[in-house]
Structure 1
């Protein structure tokens, strides 16, 4: 049930950010890595997280979002950026932001990982 609420929150944030992204002055929805590559199991409070300079995924990188499955289709460039990440079996932390403000954090997760993470994940394809 907890995960269903988290996924519903993600869906709502994505829809809101898509609506807001029409404004030129706003960044809209984006996903950042942490500045110092903080591991997911060491993430501080959301207000204490330092973001990388540029988002790994911006609203312009999202081709479509499928609400039923919570799948995000990315541009080829965004997909290549994700595939270039060195995601270990313990994941890589990310922070979802709207207009540069952190909303929630989670982890990019490798499909081959047998570790458990009790949080929001973005499953990265094997290839």
Structure 2
């Protein structure tokens, strides 16, 4: 079974603190306004909403996101719940404590609590 873990991109999309610009969508041309085609533009920081940090985010000369094969991202994964560390940097000490069962090569999903901020808003009960 395959699970889609992404959150929708819209004006309410989570912006990770210090992450740059939030998601912004703009209509450039629209059929309703008499144009022959609809054209839209969007921009966002790499730290908006659901995302994955590549090694280059933390390690100079590390792999960038476009250098990661998609098959690495699809398959069984280990999940660790790090919500008790909400607001803290996830350090190697925390990972050693919470992810001791994770082996080299395992996919790892970390629940940080940021998604809770989206789903617990009044408009997303």
Q: TM-score, normalised by structure 1?
A: 0.28
Q: Whose strand fraction is larger, Structure 1's or Structure 2's? A: 1
Query: Between Structure 1 and Structure 2, which shows a larger proportion of helix residues?
Result: 1
Query: Larger C-alpha radius of gyration, 1 or 2?
Result: 2
TM-score by length of structure 2 reads 0.28
Q: Which has the higher contact order (CA 8 A, sep 6+)?
A: 1
